[in-house]
Amino acid sequence: MRLTLSMLMLLLSMAVGVQAQDSYKEGVHYQALKQPVPTQDPTKIEVTEVFWYGCGHCFSFEPMIQQWKKGLDSDVTFVHSPAIWNGPMEVHARAFYVAKALNMFDKIHQPLFNALNIDRKRLANEKSLGQFFADFGVDAETFKKTYNSFGVVSQVSQANARARSYGIQGTPEIVVDGKYRVSASLAGSQEKMLQVTNYLVNKIRQEKS
């Protein structure tokens, strides 16, 4: 019931937010990056969520972001980017890219959130994470090889550099088209984060047209 009510409140607040877009101001509800960060596909408006699997706020935001993604127009692309500022976060970032490399992101993503936030598992090293992936049919050798692969290590390094370029101060945060940063503390709530994001997407769409 709580999840259903949360989704209804999100849809209602977003509808109200459409009427209040003129009130969103730079430096108040969102921040412009001092230096724009290149996006993966310049032909699209890129919305990037910087997150951490062990973050309770990210865990509660996940159902909202999944619902929000369903309404995206074809000119908008959504990207997850793991935050990394300590050892366990790097391990979890590697898990994200291992799942991507093994084409099993959809199987791993929510269960990994659940393991850390509901089951209170730490999964803070390669061994424990390998056991987690084994529950999804990944043999130890495949996991070890992928976890330590050049591709995964490089993507983790790039994600770390990207978050630093964004000036991320916590998780979850959203960066719109490599130009604007949105957080719950700036927007006012997680629901309002998505309202401000919609506003910025439309702003960029108008600028591009």
pLDDT in tens, 9-35: 555 555 544 445 568 999 999 999 999
Please state, rounded to an integer, the average pLDDT across all residues of the chain.
93
CB 146 within 8 A of CB 152: yes
DSSP state letters, 58-69? HHHHHHHHHHHH
Range of the domain at 169: 2-208
| pLDDT tens profile 150-171 | 999 999 999 999 999 999 999 9
Residue 18, judged by CB atoms within 10 A of its CB (0-12, 13-18, 19+), counts as exposed
**pLDDT value of residue 81:** 98
Residues in a beta bridge with 187 = none
- Calpha distance 100→94 (Å, rounded): 10
What digits encode the pLDDT tens for the residues 176-194? 999 999 999 999 999 999 9
CB neighbour list of residue 76: distance below 8 Å, 6 or more residues apart: 44, 45, 46, 47, 201
What domain count does the chain have? 1
User: What is the domain-level CATH number for residue 47?
Assistant: 3.40.30.10
Q: Tell me: the pLDDT tens digits for 42-100?
A: 999 999 999 999 999 999 999 999 999 999 999 999 999 999 999 999 999 999 999 99
Instruction: Supply the pTM of this predicted model.
Output: 0.88
